[in-house]
Amino acid sequence: MEKKLKLVEETTAMLIADRIAGLDKEVFSENPIKKIIILRMQPPSEAKRIAYIPEEEAVSNEPEHYVIHNYGLKKIIDQECRKRVILLSESERSKDFIKMTLEEVFIGIAAHEVRHRVQHLLPIEWFSPEHARTIDDPYFRRLIEFRRIIFTSHPPEGNYQREFDAKVIENLVVEKWHYGEKSHSRIAELIKLEPKHLAKAEE
């Protein structure tokens, strides 16, 4: 029984690693990540379970990499699949609350971590709570306001700005994916999205 559980954990970690590698390669076609490490251990905290580690934060001379801690991973993913998540697109009111499929959970995790690499390597502007006022697009206003409210009651572990921006991208990608946007090149464009790409509201 013990053995079977480990296999499942490892399969889950490998599927997530595969999604991260795929999206990373699509976003950084010239410079795809060279290493994804699966650690057979519990993470130091849930926020660090899956992470992008830049070279300067890596220990023992590792190059930049993504890391996945796989002990307990399956349980966390199962919990994510049971949660109801809100969709913010105007047109789909009746389906506002959905349960995410495994595929949607994986693509959200991958988009979040690859966005962290984008934040680190590309000179982009990050999404922040203020953009709920300055962006014209009503969907993005809702998305940003929603994240601000969630983070007010449940502040993220780590850097607020960095996590705010990555969560906006994660939610965006999951929702677009849910509504059928499954082209990896289009998802890669979303992962590189900046507030300035969206029309500004009249001040």
Instruction: Give the shortest CB-45-to-Zn ion separation in angstroms.
Output: 12
Residue numbers 133-192 binding Zn ion by CB under 5 A = 163, 166
Q: Cβ-closest residue to Zn ion?
A: 166
Instruction: Give the shortest CB-113-to-Zn ion separation in angstroms.
Output: 7
Instruction: Give the shortest CB-11-to-Zn ion separation in angstroms.
Output: 23
For Zn ion, the closer CB: 51 or 201: 51
Instruction: Give the shortest CB-43-to-Zn ion separation in angstroms.
Output: 13
For Zn ion, the closer CB: 126 or 134: 126
For Zn ion, the closer CB: 169 or 188: 169
Nearest 5 degrees, angle CA 168-CA 169-CA 171? Answer: 65
Contact between 85 and Zn ion by CB under 5 A: the answer reads: no
Cα 139 to Cα 156: distance, rounded to the nearest angstrom = 23
State the distance between the two ends of the chain, measured CA to CA, in whole angstroms: 61
Given a contact cutoff of 8 angstroms between Cβ atoms, the answer to whether 169 and 90 are in contact is no
For Zn ion, the closer CB: 21 or 201: 21
Q: List residues binding Zn ion (CB under 5 A).
A: 163, 166
